[in-house]
Amino acid sequence: CLANMADRLAQIYGTEQDKVNCPFYYKVGACRHGDRCSRLHNRPTFSQTLLLSHMYQGPPPEMTETGYQVDPQKEASHFEEFYEEVFDELSNFGKVEELNICENLGDHMLGNVYVKFRHEEEAEKALLALNGRFYAGRLIVAEYSPVTDFREARCRQFEENTCARGGHCNFMHLKRPTKELLKKLGMDRKEDDRARGGGGFGGGGGGG
């Protein structure tokens, strides 16, 4: 009957069994196939979560005796400064519940920043304010994300140091801020559910 069919569709929505809707876009908010995907990307018209596409950029590699490399200490310092600056800016729009930064290498996830606000209205304020602005000289591209439960989006194998796909995994590999920074920002209460994620914000039309 129709009721049973509706229940079945609701149960498989966003799973591999769903042949209509893309499970990766539903769970992760990004799909390696992009607009060429054979399944639907149901873009939300409202959400608590925003995706700031490719916003995070690590420091450039430097020439060393063994070739071009990124200094781990400089990279950690660069990330912490980025995380704090972005958190402070986003907090102007409402209560930031999660701030997650991907370290995946795939084109569809590289440098992606996800921010989850407590209320949808706060996310809407941030979306309207950020689009058209610049960070570190690059245009900010913000959109609503379907992801509200990052436990489903994160790669558990990565967190256990066992992910065989490395940076090209299609689940989130999240950068971790230090406990000290999380405590400073008041985010240490849910640290286990958090994630790790220079520049400066600029207004629309400028190079910031």
% of residues, the chain, pLDDT over 90: 58
pLDDT at residue 11 in the model: 52
Mean pLDDT of 54-82: 86
Span of 62-76, 98-112, 127-141, 170-184 with lowest mean pLDDT = 62-76
Classify burial at 145, counting beta carbons within 10 Å of its beta carbon; exposed 0-12, middle 13-18, buried 19 or more: buried
Provide the sign of the torsion angle of the four alpha carbons 38, 42, 43, 48, taken in this order: negative
Residue 200 has pLDDT above 90, yes or no: no
**Tokens 């900010």 belong to which residue?**
140
pTM: 0.80
Rounded Cα distance between 151 and 120, Å, is 20
pLDDT of residue 7: 54
CB atoms under 10 Å from CB of 164, counted, come to 6
Q: Count Cβ neighbours within 10 Å for each residue of 17-42 and write b for 16 or more, e otherwise.
A: ebeebbbbbbbbbbbeeeeeeebebe
pLDDT band at 5 (very low <50, low <70, confident <90, very high): very low
The number of C-alpha atoms within 13 Å of 72 and in the hemisphere containing its C-beta is: 0
Least confident interval from 92-96, 130-134, 164-168, 202-206: 202-206
CB 114 within 8 A of CB 178: no
Confidence of residue 13 (pLDDT cuts 50, 70, 90): very low
Q: Which two tokens stand for residue 55?
A: 């916003």
Rounded CA separation 186/99 (Å): 12
The DSSP annotation for 42-73 comes to ---SS-SEEEETT---PPPPEEETTEEE--HH
